[in-house]
């Protein structure tokens, strides 16, 4: 199963990914975690170009194509081989991030973005996508904690993150079968339980489909 996590910055995705990983492993499942941008030697190099605060002059299309390039490498080198060997893959962001950030956030043409997704994902679509939804104000409150360093993407203004959040809400409606919106202001363990319920339901229905009669 291929599971992705989405949301605006500081939504708490990483915590939930670790909790889901533990639960899956406890359940005897094999799991691989990946993050975007990054996850392979080439993709991590692209990540450092993308997030470097010195790169203020980066053009929006360049930004989008670099995220897509990083994704393509990750899909080919890591995700597809893992899925083929029966390992579940959990991705911290995938193509919906580009639709939300570069499409709705930066204003690039959504149809053009979708065309590039088809190439960059090699046709791979997540089975389940958790959208951890927090208000933009909460994101800004969390980022102001002293131990946080801010990267180039996070340095954008509130209006940018409002557009991204609206974009995610639109995506969740459009792809209701795989998208699950979760209120990210709920307690960590409550969110973890909701995620686990959805994943275990999907796992048992997949097992039932694959079972030989």
Q: Which residues bind ligand TYD (CB under 6 A)?
A: 9, 14, 35-37, 51, 67, 92-93, 97-98, 101-102, 151, 153-154
Q: Check the CA dihedral 118-52-107-101 and report its sign.
A: positive
Nearest approach, Cβ of residue 168 and ligand TYD (Å): 12
CB 132 within 8 A of CB 16: yes
C-beta of 27 vs 133, nearer to ligand TYD? 133
Running DSSP on this structure, what letter comes out for residue 6? Answer: E
C-beta of 49 vs 203, nearer to ligand TYD? 49
Tokens for 209? 């489909």
**60-74 and 41-51 helices cross at what angle (nearest 10)?**
160
Nearest approach, Cβ of residue 37 and ligand TYD (Å): 5
Helices (H) and strands (E) in the chain, counts: 9, 5
C-beta of 66 vs 199, nearer to ligand TYD? 66
Nearest approach, Cβ of residue 151 and ligand TYD (Å): 6
Tokens for 58? 């980066």
C-beta of 106 vs 178, nearer to ligand TYD? 106
C-beta of 59 vs 207, nearer to ligand TYD? 59
CA distance 180 to 110: 21
Of 58, 142, 137, 129, give the one whose Cα is nearest residue 100.
129
Nearest approach, Cβ of residue 70 and ligand TYD (Å): 7
C-beta of 101 vs 168, nearer to ligand TYD? 101
Cα dihedral angle (178, 184, 186, 187), rounded to 10 degrees? Answer: 100
Nearest approach, Cβ of residue 120 and ligand TYD (Å): 9
Nearest approach, Cβ of residue 183 and ligand TYD (Å): 18
Q: Could you count the other beta carbons within 10 Å of the beta carbon of residue 153?
A: 17
């Amino acid at each position: 199963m291929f599971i992705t996590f989405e949301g605006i910055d500081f939504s708490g995705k990483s915590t939930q990914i670790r909790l889901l990983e533990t639960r899956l492993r406890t359940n005897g499942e094999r799991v691989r975690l990946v993050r975007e941008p990054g996850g392979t030697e080439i993709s991590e190099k692209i990540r450092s170009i993308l997030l470097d605060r010195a790169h203020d002059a980066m053009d929006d299309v360049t930004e989008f194509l670099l995220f897509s390039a990083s994704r393509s490498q990750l899909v080919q080198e890591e995700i597809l081989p893992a899925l083929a060997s029966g390992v579940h893959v959990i991705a911290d962001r995938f193509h919906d991030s580009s639709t939300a950030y570069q499409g709705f956030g930066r204003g690039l043409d959504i149809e053009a973005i979708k065309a590039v997704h088809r190439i960059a994902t090699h046709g791979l679509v997540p089975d389940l996508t958790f959208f951890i939804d927090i208000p933009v104000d909460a994101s800004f409150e969390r980022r102001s904690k002293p131990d946080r360093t801010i990267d180039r993407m996070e340095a954008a203004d509130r209006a940018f993150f409002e557009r991204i959040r609206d974009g995610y809400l639109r995506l969740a409606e459009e792809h209701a079968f795989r998208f699950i919106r979760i209120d990210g202001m709920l307690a960590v363990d409550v969110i973890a339980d909701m995620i686990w319920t959805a994943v275990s339901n999907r796992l048992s229905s997949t097992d039932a489909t694959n079972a030989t009669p």
